Amino acid sequence: MAIEGIEWLFIGLIAIIFLLWAPEKIPKIAEAIGKARREFEKASREFYSEIEREAEVKSLKDESDEKIIEIAKSLGITTEGKTRDEVVKEIIEKSTMKTS
């Protein structure tokens, strides 16, 4: 994507304003832009790492749900139409009955 026409005009105007306004402030402005870029990149990395962590937690939850269903079936508990908590409660009840 090449810079054309009016874009060059804007770039030129900004350059002239910087040179006329305060040349001694250009390093400070560049430093602020660099700092903002670093903060943006840091926030991006944190955002993507949070998404990865959530995906890992979801994967572990899915695996644990499968194991709960497997245990329930081995104890003869039906899981259809029940919430995860209801199934776990029945597993606990059934397992305590067997040990009593």
User: What is the spatial distance between Cα 44 and Cα 57, in angstroms, rounded to a whole number?
Assistant: 20
Backbone φ/ψ region at 76: left (φ over 0), alpha (ψ -120 to 50), beta: left
Tell me what the pLDDT averaged over the chain comes to: 84
DSSP codes of every residue in 10-55:
HHHHHHHHHHHH-GGGHHHHHHHHHHHHHHHHHHHHHHHHHHHHHH
Question: Taking the model in full, what pTM does it have?
Answer: 0.46
Range scoring the smallest mean pLDDT among 14-18, 36-40, 60-64, 94-98:
94-98
Q: How many domains does the chain have?
A: 1
For residue 65, is it within any domain?
A: yes
Residue 47 confidence (pLDDT)? 93
Segment 36-83, tens digit of pLDDT: 999 999 999 999 999 998 888 888 788 888 888 888 888 888 888 888
Range of the domain at 42: 8-99
Q: Is the dihedral of CA 62, 64, 69, 74 positive or negative?
A: positive
User: What is the spatial distance between Cα 52 and Cα 47, in angstroms, rounded to a whole number?
Assistant: 9
For residue 67, is it within any domain?
A: yes
For residue 1, is it within any domain?
A: no
For residue 2, is it within any domain?
A: no
For residue 69, is it within any domain?
A: yes
